[in-house]
Structure 1
Amino acid sequence: MDYPTDRSIWSLGSAPHANETVVTSTLLDQPTAAKDLKESTPQTEPRPAERRRPRLAVLDGLRLVAALAVLSWHWMGVQGWPAIWHGMSGAKMPLGASIGAYGWLGVQLFFLISGFVICMSCWGRSLGDFVTSRVTRLFPAFWVAVLVTTAVLWFAPQRWGVDSQRPTLVRMLTNLTMMPNPVGTTNIDQSYWTLWIEICFYVLFGVVAAFGLTYRRVLVFCGVWAFASIMAISSGFPLLNSLVQPDFSWYFIAGIAFFLMHRFGPNLLLFGMVGFCWLMSLNRIERLVHDNSAGAGHQLSWKITALVITASFALVGATALGAFNRVQWRWLTVAGSLTYPLYLVHQEIGFEMITRVSRYLPGYATVAVCLAVMLGAAWLLHRFVERPFAPMLKRGLARSFAQVRSNGQVAARS
């Protein structure tokens, strides 16, 4: 799901960081002058274009499409949940159920975009910058969403999902860490499972960021991660499997390769990397198709699934190569800002709303009303939680990392 970017998705085409020059700026440093980097850049390395490229607004829109796809899967595609639509969403909304049955593929699109924007947002930054950007982007809205979802489930007449018990205090507090699954606790909202996948990506990518992101290092990272994913599949080693996430790593790696195309220009190596990831993703979705067929109540088509995956690769790739640079609709920025909050609140809270509203309205009208309310709730989270608290958290972390650097320098001199 990040699904996450730092406020918006911007092209770094004019950023002055050359790909093989390790930028050592701190949280409070300004970017190195383009003239200085130009003098120190090896001429054999690919270099970004000098002109400033337009904002990649289409990626904001694709993120909202991914969120709405996942929402359609939970709200209409899954059959048999008795507390929502009495387990009869297919009978009430046959077209919606047919489309929603493939909505879970929005997660794959999320991960593709995430690989692109995470690499973009931390290029030329220190490890402290990278950690700060991820914490301030993910946690403020998440903490509030966990508390609100816990309150809704506590007072709801019945609990649906994986378990049938009211959330306990320990479960709620563990969920605030964003890591309940590794320690044996269930998510307050079951859609939060994707956040653990994102965290694994951040940990792996953070190792490279600690040494400074360069074109070559990022390429090596992608190759090593791809090889480790294949080893995880063949060995079945649980720890390796949990760390590299071989079912989803291909989307992150392809997203990173698309960013390198966007910043430095396409070449055969990058196209080959994307093609390899696309082929491996088609291999891994076979099991996901089988697993999600049970939720959909009928056998899903591998061909349709493969077509959606291919379209996702094509859309992100076309965006990276500038095919949609002229699309600069301002509402896409708003759409991007609502995506993450919408994802956080749409499932359990949405189920409670659907159960109540569907008593008075037909199926599609119920979905429309609940979606409007959920978008309003997402805007409130963005406006009154993310916008005011993320900068406060960023300043606190900036001071913390500055103190770490200062103390480290004193210790080194001693």
Structure 2
Amino acid sequence: MSQRRLTASPRLAALDGLRLVAALMVVFYHYVALSRPWGHNPATIFPTLHKFAEFGWLGVEVFFLVSGFVICMSVWGRTLGDFAVSRVSRLFPAYWVAIPLTALVVKKWPEVTSIRGWDDVIVNLTMLQAGNNTKNVDDVYWTLFVELKFYVLMAIVVLCGVTYRNLLIFCGVWTVAAALAPSLGFPALAAFAMPQYAPFFIAGIAFYLMRRFGSNPLLWGIVLFQLLLSQRYIHYRMASNLGHVAAEHLPTWPVRLIIVAGFAVVGAIAVGLFDKVQWKWLSTAGAITYPLYLIHMFIGMTLIHHFRNRLPAPVLVVSVIALMMVTAWLIHRFVERPAGLWIRNSMKRGIADVRRHTPAGPAGRARVGVQPPNPYGVPVEAERGAALLEDGVGSRVH
């Protein structure tokens, strides 16, 4: 099959929209399905909406599916240093604002949770707290550690060379590792193979390969295989989000349907069915998704709990969501953009120093992460043009 022509094609605005939908699913789950912000079962407050909101945790699975697509795009034509710069500059600015902001709100109103100690807050600034059993400042941060492990795996691909063939091998090896890890008894393998979430990341990678090179039976086979594997941990995910009792009584078909819908939407984006969706506001939607996700849970729950007896419940939920979205935009506009630019420039200067002081030759190139020649003969500059999509900011793809 021939490679897709590397010319400008429409921005993936629909991917930004899907990202916001996933974030709002999680927000509704936390605000409407859980008892913590209301002090009792919110099914008595939202008898109809609650039935939908209790499946909103599946927004995380959609995030992982999108992440596989986006990160695969981000690594194409980049060195390991480039990849590290893009991830650090993207993830940390908003995160470093969300942590103290959440800590201050929770410290002021310890109504739904509490801060165990400021040492926990400090360790959280590294984003590695889950690795040393430090409590998350906000419970949603658990997904960030899952993402970091995915980045480590993708960094290995970058070191080997990001090519169509290597990514297919990577997907195959990861699939086998994730399938066998639970029965092999190696905790480290299970930790990095992430069998509960691997199908979503791997399917996202396959979808990006479709976008870049065109669809074929092999890629669709990978997607179908991952869709089947994703069903294995549905009961586990339901129990961890809704409790064992609720998981035993709730039907599983809504979960399966939402997962299939997520695969279908990303697949439609991959084959270009949404290329005509170019609404400008979707770029803003994508931009605020990450900070919204970081700040919404404990801050929003605390506000709902604090004002639950002073405002009608629907008004309170809508008001808190609106406040969180405005705050997320402010973080994006006045923190993420300038701080991200400063971090990128600073890291690039540091990497340039490393390259300047690294001996030339094959060993030196391996140490600084220089890519091997592209198997299709496409210049690195052209490849980098295809890797501009960063989480939450959208791009054009080739």
TM-score, normalised to structure 1's length? 0.84
In 1, Cα distance between equivalents of 2:95 and 2:205: 25
The superposition leaves residues 87-132 of structure 1 with CA deviations (integer Å, 9 ceiling, x where unpaired) of: 2311111122111100000000000000001111221111111111
Cα displacement string for residues 295-325 of structure 1 (whole angstroms, at most 9, x for unaligned residues): 8956332111100000000000001100010
Q: Tell me how far 1:410 sits from its aligned partner.
A: 6.8
Identity in percent? 44
Q: Is the 8 A contact 2:291 2:332 kept in 1?
A: yes
Contact 1:150 1:167 (C-alpha < 8 Å) held by counterparts? no
Aligned twin of 1:142: 95
Unaligned runs of 5+ in 2: 365-398
Contact kept? 1:77, 1:296, Cα under 8 Å = no
Find the partner of 2:44 among 69, 91, 96.
91
Q: Match of 1:49?
A: 5
| CA positional deviation for 1:252 | 0.4
Q: Which residue of 1 aligns with 2:386?
A: none
What RMSD over aligned residues (CA atoms) do the two structures have, in Å? 1.7
Q: 2:141 aligned to 192, 200, 204, which one?
A: 192
Which residue pairs with 2:16 in the alignment?
Answer: 60
1:78 equivalent to 2:34? Answer: yes
2:108 & 2:83 partners in 1: Cα distance? 38
Q: Conserved in 1, the CA contact under 8 Å of 2:112 and 2:302? A: no
Correspondences of 1:277-288 after superposition (within 5 Å)? 277-288=226-237
Query: Displacement of 1:391 after TM fit?
Result: 0.4
Q: CA deviation at 1:46?
A: 4.0
Q: Secondary structure at the match of 2:76?
A: coil
**Residue 88 to residue 290, structure 1, CA distance change in 2 (3 Å):** closer
- Pick 1 or 2: higher relative contact order, CA cutoff 8 A, min separation 6: 2
Distance in 2, matches of 1:228 and 1:303, equals 27
Q: CA deviation at 1:353?
A: 1.1
Q: CA deviation at 1:182?
A: 1.4
Q: Which runs of 4+ in 1 moved over 3 A?
A: 295-298, 410-413
Distance of aligned partners of 1:208 and 1:410 in 2 relative to their CA distance in 1, 3 Å threshold: closer
What amino acid does structure 2 have at the position aligned with 1:293? Answer: L
Is structure 2 residue 192 aligned with structure 1 residue 240? no
Question: What whole-Å deviation, never above 9, does each CA across 1:223-271 have from its counterpart, x for those lacking one?
Answer: 1111110111222421111111110011000000000000000111101
**Residue equivalent to 2:254:** 304
**What secondary structure sits across from 2:9 in the alignment?**
coil
Cα separation, 1, equivalents of 2:347 and 2:115 = 35
Describe the superposition over 1:173-212 as per-residue Cα deviations: whole angstroms up to 9, x where unpaired: 1100111111011100001100000000000010111222
Distance across 1 between alignment mates of 2:235 and 2:295: 29
What is the rounded CA distance, in whole Å, between the counterparts of 1:291 and 1:125 in structure 2? 37
Residue 342 of structure 1 is matched in structure 2 by 292
Find out whether 1:373 has 2:329 as its counterpart: no
Query: Is the CA contact (8 Å cut-off) linking 2:106 and 2:115 kept in structure 1?
Result: yes
- Is it true that 1:130 corresponds to 2:80 in the alignment? no
Distance 2:16 2:2 in 1: 27
Q: Which moved more, 1:255-264 or 1:96-105?
A: 96-105
- C-alpha contact (below 8 Å) 2:22/2:59 kept by paired residues: yes
Task: For residue 291 of structure 1, report the CA deviation from its aligned partner.
Answer: 3.1
Write the distance in 1 (CA, Å) between the matches of 2:293 and 2:244: 19
1:158 equivalenced with 2:108 (yes/no): no
SS at match of 1:247: coil
